[in-house]
Amino acid sequence: MLKRTSISLLFLFALFSFLPQTTFAATSVTGHKIIIDAGHGGDDSGSTACSGLPEKDVNMQIANDLKSLLEADTATVYMTRNDDETLSNNDRYTIANNSGGEVLVSIHLNGSTNPLTDGTQGLYGKIGKDKSFTQVMHNALWSGLSATPNFTNFGLTNFASGLLLKTTMPATIQETVFISNTNECDLLKTSGGARQQEIAQNLKNGLVNWFAQPTPTPKHGKH
């Protein structure tokens, strides 16, 4: 009896001495420099399929949520825009290339004429620079959001975007969810920001996974 109690106490002591480190452990984004690009802005609304909520505004909300999550883990975040500004691709990649950031995540929402279509898709520019990063980010969004009703994995697509091609670091456009989907539109409007936060959390998970890899640096000189 006594023996058992002391073993249990020892176990409890070991558990409690462990807890603070595990709970507040640094994640893999700690100390990293991450560029967040909120898609569209200003004169460019992006998709207007969700009445009263233009894509540009949701992109900014998700970008701000992601920024907070990353900064809470002491990552350094650079934003291509902080407000409802009109930016060209040239503006965006110039800001990115001058920032010293290691990776760039461009946040978008997809659109379809079919209001039932929903899902997630990752876009990459250069295979060597962007594809593996895009895959890791896409995987995190897919695994985190796949429980959404009628959610489809649209995989990766090559997209010759100036932003992706002209940035010097691994870069990706994530078409996170379909704003044209009736369910998503409602969620984004009425969840009090919870859906935006959920998308941001999954983007953060992707960044954690990327920086946790043994060799997260881009492979130069291919394509």
List interacting residues with Zn ion (CB under 5 A).
39, 46, 108
Considering the complex, what minimum distance in angstroms separates the CB of residue 39 from Zn ion?
4
Tokens at residue 29, please?
A: 């984004």
Beta strands in the chain (DSSP E): 33-38, 76-79, 103-110, 118-124, 151-158, 171-178
Residue 222: exposure state from Cβ atoms within 10 A (0-12, 13-18, ≥19): exposed
Which residue minimizes CB distance to Zn ion? 108
**Distance (Å, rounded) from C-alpha 223 to C-alpha 215?**
19
CB 155 within 8 A of CB 83: no
For residue 110 the two structure tokens come to: 């997809």
- Residue 67 to residues 26, 60, 73, 149, 151, Cα–Cα distance (Å): 16, 10, 10, 27, 26
Smaller CB separation from Zn ion, 108 or 204: 108
- Minimum CB distance to Zn ion, residue 55 (Å): 5
Q: How far is the CB of 152 from Zn ion (least distance, A)?
A: 18
User: Least distance to Zn ion from the beta carbon of 108, Å?
Assistant: 4
Q: How far is the CB of 110 from Zn ion (least distance, A)?
A: 7
Q: How far does Cα 74 stand from its chain's mean position?
A: 16
* Closer of 75 and 137 to Zn ion (Cβ): 137
Q: Which is nearer to Zn ion, 27 or 121 (CB)?
A: 121
CB closer to Zn ion out of 95 and 109: 109
> Is the CB of 159 or the CB of 211 nearer to Zn ion?
159
